Amino acid sequence: MSMKKNYVVETIRKTQMLELLASGQRLDGRTPEQHRPITLKVGVIQKANGSASVTLGNSEVLAGVKVATGTPFPDTPDKGLLVVNAEILPLSSPYAEPGPPSEDAIELARVVDRGIRESEMVDLTKLCLIPGKTVYTVFVDVNVMNVDGNLFDAMSYAVVAALRSAKMKKFIVKDDKVEATDEMVPIPVEKIPVSVTLARIGESLVVDPNAEEEGAMDMRITITTDDEGNVCASQKGEAAGITPEHVLQAADTSIMVGKEIRKTIIEATK
């Protein structure tokens, strides 16, 4: 029995998709700039410092935040640690297999991590206790529960919401020793980065591709923007190239769509 690696889109379905896109429509009835409905719930895991569950259409992810203390990296002795990790569960899709993380899962975690890090969402300098010795370590672990395309954005929203709603134990430094207190404080979150992924199918760019559109896309680009509309991070995927016009168009669309989604995240994490 051969292993199924990827979702193959039927040729006749792709033809329909391209015909509709030529007139600015999509198979599921959305416009090219429209994302699928987002639901965002925080505090879904009681034992975690912070958590969030996000559905983006039928894609579903669950994020959990764990804060502890540890030693900093040698090159950043005065900064706390932030590690974002992703796991695509075998039950999430017929194409996901158990075992070490797949290439897709690694890219997913890297792209989301980069968006959070480069936007300077979390002020890592505030997470330092004793420079070079002890800092706060923030681990964000994400499980993908269901795959229906665009995991980048779903995961990014879950991580941002989980970090925004997280409460960590406050540590104090006494006689060069770190001591835990009973006080719970929020993680020093400064900004709200929003990631928006676009796929190029034929000559059209579409926001938030679903699994079918991802199966038919030639190229995808994920752009993360911050509150002021600055582009903080981006990642291009798949084999086909991208024109400079499309890069600019994608950036503009990300900023525009991102503004709207940022409101949703603020509303859910109030």
Partner 1 sequence: MIERKQVIPGDVITRGDFQWGSYIEKRGDEFIALRVGLAEVGREGVKLNPLSGPYLPHPEDQVIGKVVDINGFGWVVDINSSFDGFLPASFVFGREFSPSTHDLTTKFGVGDIIGARIESSERSRDPQLSIRGHGFGKIDRGEIVKISPTKVPRLIGRRGSMINLISERTGCDVKVGQNGVVVVSGPPEAVGRAVNVIKMVEEAAHSADLMGRVDQYLGGVEDGA
4 sits near partner 1 (criterion: CB under 8 A): yes
Task: Please list every residue from 14 through 43 that binds partner 1, using CB under 8 A.
Answer: 14, 16
Q: Do 223 and 251 form a contact (C-beta atoms < 8 A)?
A: yes
Q: Which of 45, 232, 237, 250 is nearest to 156 (CA)?
A: 232
CB atoms inside a 10 Å sphere around CB 47 = 7
Beta 81-88 vs 134-146: how paired, if at all?
Answer: parallel
CB of 7 vs partner 1, minimal distance in Å: 9
Interface region with partner 1, contact rule CB under 8 A, candidates 12-20, 80-88, 235-243, 256-264: 12-20
Return the number of the residue (86 or 216) whose C-beta is nearest partner 1: 216
To which residue do tokens 């991590």 refer? 113
The two structure tokens encoding residue 95: 């194409």
Return the number of the residue (14 or 114) whose C-beta is nearest partner 1: 14
CB of 186 vs partner 1, minimal distance in Å: 47
Return the number of the residue (135 or 201) whose C-beta is nearest partner 1: 201
Ramachandran quadrant class, 123 (left: phi over 0; alpha: psi -120 to 50; beta: rest): beta
Residues that contact partner 1, how many (by CB under 8 A):
11
The two structure tokens encoding residue 258: 């991102």
Interface region with partner 1, contact rule CB under 8 A, candidates 5-13, 180-188, 199-207, 247-255: 5-13
Q: What are the distances in angstroms from CA 37 to CA 114, 115, 208, 214? A: 25, 22, 10, 18
CB of 6 vs partner 1, minimal distance in Å: 9
To which residue do tokens 């992703």 refer? 86
CB of 5 vs partner 1, minimal distance in Å: 8
Binder among 1, 174, 176, 245 for partner 1 (CB under 8 A): 1
End-to-end CA gap in the chain: 50
Binder among 12, 37, 176, 267 for partner 1 (CB under 8 A): 12
2 sits near partner 1 (criterion: CB under 8 A): yes
List residues binding partner 1 (CB under 8 A).
1-2, 4, 8-14, 16
